[in-house]
Structure 1
Amino acid sequence: MPAASTTLRTLAVSVITLLTVTGCQALDDAGRAMGRADIVNELAARLDRALELTYSAEYQLPGGRTASITQSQDPARSAYEWPGGKLTVTAEATTRCDTASGRTVCTIEAPPAPNSKPSVVLFAAAEREGQVTPPMVMGLLTAAALDPGATITQSDTTVAGHLATCVDVRQTAGSFATCVTGEGALGSFTGQVDGQPAELALSRYREQVDGAAFDLPPGAGVVDRRQAGS
Structure 2
Amino acid sequence: MAALLATALGGLTGCASIGDAQQVIDRAHLVNELASRLDHASELSYTADYQLPGGGQATIVQAQSPMRTAYIYPAGKYATTREATMDCQTAGGTTTCTLTAPPPGGSDATTTLVNVLRNRGMVPPTLVVNLLTAASLSSNTVIKQHDTTLAGEHATCVEVSGVENAPASAFDACITSDGVLGSFNGVVDGASVDISLTRYATTIADDAFTPPAGAQIVDQRTKRS
- TM-score with structure 1 length normalisation? 0.80
Q: Does residue 6 of structure 2 align to residue 17 of structure 1?
A: yes
RMSD: 2.5
Between the aligned partners of 2:110 and 2:76, the Cα distance in structure 1 is: 14
Residue 153 (structure 1) aligned to one of 144, 150, 167? 144
Evaluate the alpha carbon distance shift between residue 165 and residue 134 of structure 1 in structure 2; reply closer, same or farther with a 3 A threshold.
Answer: same
Evaluate the alpha carbon distance shift between residue 132 and residue 150 of structure 1 in structure 2; reply closer, same or farther with a 3 A threshold.
Answer: same
Counterpart residue number, 1:134: 125
Contact persistence 2:185–2:194 (CA under 8 A): yes
Contact persistence 1:13–1:41 (CA under 8 A): no
1:51-109 CA distances to partner (integer Å, 9 max, x unpaired)? Answer: 11111111100001111111111332111112213111112211111112221110111
Q: Does residue 70 of structure 2 align to residue 79 of structure 1?
A: yes
Q: Which amino acid aligns with 1:156?
A: D
SS at match of 2:123: coil
Overall identity of the aligned pairs, in %: 44
1:112-166 CA distances to partner (integer Å, 9 max, x unpaired)? Answer: 46xx59xx87654331121312121222222222332221011111111111110
Structure 1: gaps (5+ residues): 1-11, 27-33
Contact persistence 2:49–2:58 (CA under 8 A): yes
Q: Which amino acid aligns with 1:184?
A: G
Between the aligned partners of 2:70 and 2:110, the Cα distance in structure 1 is: 9
Between the aligned partners of 2:222 and 2:139, the Cα distance in structure 1 is: 51
Between the aligned partners of 2:109 and 2:214, the Cα distance in structure 1 is: 23
Size of the aligned set, in residue pairs, is 208
- TM-score with structure 2 length normalisation? 0.82
Residue 202 (structure 2) aligned to one of 198, 202, 207? 207
